[in-house]
Amino acid sequence: MELGPGDDAAIVRAPGGRVVATTDLLVEGRHFRRDWSPPYDIGRKAAAQNLADVVAMGARPTALLIGFGAPPGTAVDWVDALCDGLRDECAQVEAGVAGGDIVRAEAVVLAVTALGALDGPAITRSGARPGDVVAVAGRLGHAEAGVELLSAGLREPADLIDAHRRPRPPYATALRAREFGATAMLDVSDGLVQDLGHIAESAGVRIEIDGAAVPVPPVPDGLRLALTGGEDHAFAATFPEGAELPAEWRTIGRVVDGPAEVLVDGRPYRGGGWDHFRLP
């Protein structure tokens, strides 16, 4: 970062002049609840879901810009803890908070813009080709399991509750995906099947998933949660057949010729995924 907070705009260095930018909006009661998550974890989560989008493009995150709305009377200590969470998540990828804006609002709202430097070819959704393998890195379904537990008034198992509160995207291994020949990659934010559908549609291919190969959370109906839960912010990617992948990547399927669709064990999966306009 060349110039951070304190002026009318930040200046972010970008080798080659290529900047990847993404933005996301988090609204209290829809994306997080203050009675479920402490402010520090909300900050980590807000940063993670944007940093993961930058990494999924094959770019190195450099900075976040934060728009923050809050009701009158919001405690300064609460806001400080939120900012600490944003800062510490950025530190995972050597990025920083470059600045932002504050406004009065009826509920807590976070508008996060992430910037990243693209040092090589972008890894886009349209790059998958028949013959590629499909692999994932990171947890699947754990955050959704945590939501279901919290919705039932439970606070255990703690690791599943924590998965909802604070995702842990495997940034490092995703940043190396290009080294292993990744042809397409995305952040699993809305559910594995739904998000792989974006790759299938963009590339004009069929994706076939082996349900037995999908890593699942240690709960009943774990496969459903792994296929439809998205807020763990795992990464899904396609690689050429025979590529030697690190242990962090787990092969779960393949890309074949066919209509743009995702099949699980040979059949369409109708279990759903995140819908921004579905009522809570």
Confirm whether residue 125 is marked as ligand binding: yes
Confirm whether residue 132 is marked as ligand binding: no
Residue found by looking up tokens 């520090």 in the block: 40
Question: How confident is the model at residue 14, as a pLDDT?
Answer: 75
Out of 117, 151, 171, a domain closes at 117
Out of 67, 99, 117, a domain closes at 117
pLDDT, mean of residues 132-161:
96
My answer on whether 138 and 260 are in the same domain is yes
Return the number of other C-beta atoms located less than 10 Å from residue 263's C-beta: 17
How does the average pLDDT of the chain come out, rounded?
93
* DSSP H or E segment with residue 19: strand 19-27
My answer on whether 23 and 131 are in the same domain is no
Confirm whether residue 274 is marked as ligand binding: yes
Q: What is the DSSP letter of 215?
A: -
Give the span between the Cα atoms of 77 and 127, in whole angstroms: 46
276 within some domain: no
> Degrees (nearest 5) of the Cα angle 125, 128, 134?
100
My answer on whether 94 and 43 are in the same domain is yes
Is-above-0.75 flag for pTM?
yes
Q: What b/e readout covers 125-136, taking b as 16+ CB neighbours within 10 angstroms?
A: bebbbeebbbbb
Q: Over 50: is that where the pLDDT of 274 sits?
A: no
My answer on whether 216 and 98 are in the same domain is no
Give the helix ranges, DSSP H, for the chain: 39-56, 76-91, 142-151, 158-165, 171-175, 192-203, 222-228
The CATH number of residue 96's host domain is 3.30.1330.10
Confirm whether residue 101 is marked as ligand binding: yes
Question: How confident is the model at residue 7, as a pLDDT?
Answer: 64
Confirm whether residue 187 is marked as ligand binding: yes
Confirm whether residue 23 is marked as ligand binding: yes
My answer on whether 264 and 131 are in the same domain is yes
Confirm whether residue 190 is marked as ligand binding: yes
With cut-offs at 50, 70 and 90, classify the pLDDT of residue 279. very low
Out of 59, 94, 117, a domain closes at 117
Q: Whose CA is closest to 186, among 251, 127, 106, 242?
A: 127
Long-range pairs of 35-38 with CB within 8 A, sequence gap ≥ 24: 36/150, 36/164, 36/165, 37/164, 37/165, 38/81, 38/165
Question: Computed from CA positions of residues 85, 88, 90, 95, in that sequence, does the dihedral angle turn out positive or negative?
Answer: positive
72 within some domain: yes
- How many Å from the N-terminal Cα to the C-terminal Cα in the chain? 39
Confirm whether residue 8 is marked as ligand binding: yes
Q: Over 90: is that where the pLDDT of 271 sits?
A: no
With cut-offs at 50, 70 and 90, classify the pLDDT of residue 277. very low
* Of residues 234 and 4, more confidently modeled: 234
260 within some domain: yes
With cut-offs at 50, 70 and 90, classify the pLDDT of residue 270. confident
My answer on whether 136 and 263 are in the same domain is yes
Q: Over 70: is that where the pLDDT of 265 sits?
A: yes
Whole-angstrom CA distances from 69 to 2, 13, 65, 123 are 27, 28, 13, 33
Confirm whether residue 228 is marked as ligand binding: no
pLDDT by residue (tens digit) across 168-221?
999 999 999 999 999 999 999 999 999 999 999 999 999 999 999 999 999 999
Confirm whether residue 22 is marked as ligand binding: yes
Query: What tokens were used for 142?
Result: 């754990």
Give percent of the chain with pLDDT exceeding 70.
Answer: 95
Partner residues linked to 250 by β-bridges? 136
Confirm whether residue 96 is marked as ligand binding: no
With cut-offs at 50, 70 and 90, classify the pLDDT of residue 276. very low
Domain containing residue 131? 125-268
Number of domain units in the chain: 2
